[in-house]
Amino acid sequence: MSTLNMDAVGALPNPSLPPRRTRKSFVQLLFGDLVSACLTVAVGALLLSMVPVLNWAVFDAIWTTNDPAACSQGGACWAFIVAKFRFIIFGTYPPDEQWRPLLVMGIILAMILGSLSPRLWGARLIYLWVFAVVVMLVLMAGGVFGLEPVSTSKWGGLPITLLLALLSLGLGFPFAIFLALGRRSNLPIARMLSVLTIELVRGLPLVGLLFVASILLPLLLPAGWSIDKLGRTLAALTIFAAAYLAEVIRGGLQGVPSGQVEAAKALGIPGWKAVAHIVLPQALQKVIPPLTNTAIVMVKNTSLVLIVGVFDMLSASRVAATDPMWPAPFVESYVFVALIYFVICFGISHYARWLESRVQARSYR
């Protein structure tokens, strides 16, 4: 009698447990029913249609040759990238001095690796970055410590891309904080000016701003002042970055509970000190993931400087492909440049994800 009872109980699912998950096998997922079988075949056909691309990129490709004529056979001409590697990476920087941009890129990489862990963040790191940027600019420009001077019109390639992204974000950040605070403040004139600036810049395409910087800026400044093309481009990128960063930071400011400011007031902390030491740190901590997003956007946006004739990596690759010795390998050049951008942006987004998981793990409040 009792055994029968036990059997009956065993046959029923335990109501206190969630229903058992039915895990489908891989084959079942792919061909389980008519719809998924059709989808599998469709995706298979799509992947099969990529075979000629794969053939072009890998099997028919020419990887190493010194003879440009060997490259006109139909496969990808990666030998061209090998031959023009230095030009695409360094642009028209004098070949004998190219160790300098190389060192600059090394410094950037080392500094970024050194700043990855949030444990090291602090005022000291910011001073170190300022110092590093000064060192990098001195290295690129030369003229002191026996370094041969190199004018900015000869700077080019990947260091330009990295420096523009880094400097526009770094210089734009303080402006962004002021704009965001202004937009959130209850002083009408400050708020109006901030809203005007932010919305004006965000309403315009970056190409328009670059036009303004490259064509109008010389007209707007007094006759004696001259800023070179790189500086003007950097100005446009900085303003652009500031407006977008400001909106991100505003989101963080909105997320700080008003009780924090009230508590500061109750303790008698003056307004600006409360902002600098209580509101801003909390706001910035909240917006680190969207800030990395803005960083990715800015890295990608530096490629637009090609339109106003700054010689960044993309321009260098385009110029390299016009070499009449080679059979117009534009596609290969752009694929190579796209890969470099991909590595940078993908790296940043993965770092952001890691950072976010760390922040989540620590938010015990």
Partner 1 sequence: MISALLDNRRFRSWGGQILLLGGFAALLAWLVTNTVSNLNARGIRVGFDFLWRQANFPISESVLPYNPSDTFFWAYVTGVGNTITISLLAIILSTALGLAVGLARRSKHPLISGVAGVFVTTMRNMPLIVHLLFWYAIATTSLPAPRMAYHPLPGVFLSLRGFYIPSLDLDGAALAYVALLLAALVLLVMFHRKIIALVRPDTDHPILILVAVFAAVALVLALIIRPSGAISVPAIKGFNFAGGLRLSPEFAALMLGLVIYTSAFIGEIIRGGIDAVAAGQWEAGRAIGLSECHTLTRIIIPQALRIIIPPMTSQYLSTVKNTTLALAVGYPELGLVVGTVINQTGQAIESIALLLAIFLTISIAVSLLMNWYNARVALVDAR
Q: Candidates 59-67, 116-124, 212-220, 233-241 — which segment interacts with partner 1 by CB under 8 A?
A: 212-220
Is residue 266 a contact residue for partner 1 (CB under 8 A)? no
Q: How far is the CB of 311 from partner 1 (least distance, A)?
A: 15
- Report in angstroms how near the CB of residue 321 gets to partner 1 at its nearest: 8
Assigned token pair, 136: 């990098």
**Does residue 27 touch partner 1 according to CB under 8 A?**
no
Select from 6, 13, 43, 117 the one that contacts partner 1 (CB under 8 A).
43
Alpha carbon 164 to its chain centroid, in Å, reads 11
Q: Residue 300 CB, nearest distance to partner 1 (Å)?
A: 4
Task: State yes or no: residue 110 binds partner 1 (CB under 8 A).
Answer: no
Helix (H, G, I), strand (E, B), or coil: what is residue 19? coil
Question: 55 or 98: whose CB is closer to partner 1?
Answer: 55
Closest among 177, 175, 148 to 280, alpha carbons compared: 177
Q: How far is the CB of 199 from partner 1 (least distance, A)?
A: 8
Q: Are 249 and 177 in contact (CB under 8 A)?
A: yes
Provide, rounded to whole angstroms, the least separation between the CB of residue 185 and partner 1: 9
Taking the complex as a whole, how short is the minimal distance between the CB of residue 14 and partner 1, in angstroms? 20
Burial state string for 297-328 with b = 16 or more CB within 10 A and e = fewer than 16: bbbebbbbbbebebbbbbbbbbbbbeeeebee
To partner 1, the closest distance from the beta carbon of 64 in angstroms equals 22
Q: Does 112 bind partner 1 (CB under 8 A)?
A: no
Give the residue, chosen from 102, 111, 306, 355, that forms a contact with partner 1 under the rule CB under 8 A: 306
Neighbours of 232 (CB within 10 A): 22
Q: Classify residue 17 as left (phi > 0), alpha (psi -120 to 50) or beta.
A: beta
Choose among 277, 333, 271: nearest CA to 87: 333
Cross-strand partners of 62: 77
Does residue number 300 form part of the binding site for partner 1 (CB under 8 A)? yes
- Contact with partner 1 (CB under 8 A) among 62, 304, 320, 352: 304
Q: Is 36 in the site for partner 1 (CB under 8 A)?
A: yes
CA 331, 336, 338, 339 dihedral sign is positive
Q: How far apart are CA 336 and CA 322, in angstroms?
A: 15
Closest to partner 1 by CB, 143 or 270: 270
Q: What is the C-alpha to C-alpha distance for residues 178 and 280, in angstroms, rounded to an integer?
A: 11
Q: Is 227 in the site for partner 1 (CB under 8 A)?
A: no
Dihedral sign of CA atoms 314, 320, 324, 326 in order: negative
Q: Which stretch binds partner 1 (CB under 8 A): 63-71, 143-151, 278-286, 343-351?
A: 343-351
Binding footprint of partner 1 on the chain (CB under 8 A): 26, 29-30, 36, 39-40, 43-44, 46-47, 187-190, 193, 200, 202-208, 211-212, 215-216, 218-223, 296, 300-301, 303-304, 306-307, 314, 318, 321, 328, 330-331, 334-335, 337-338, 341-342, 345-346, 349
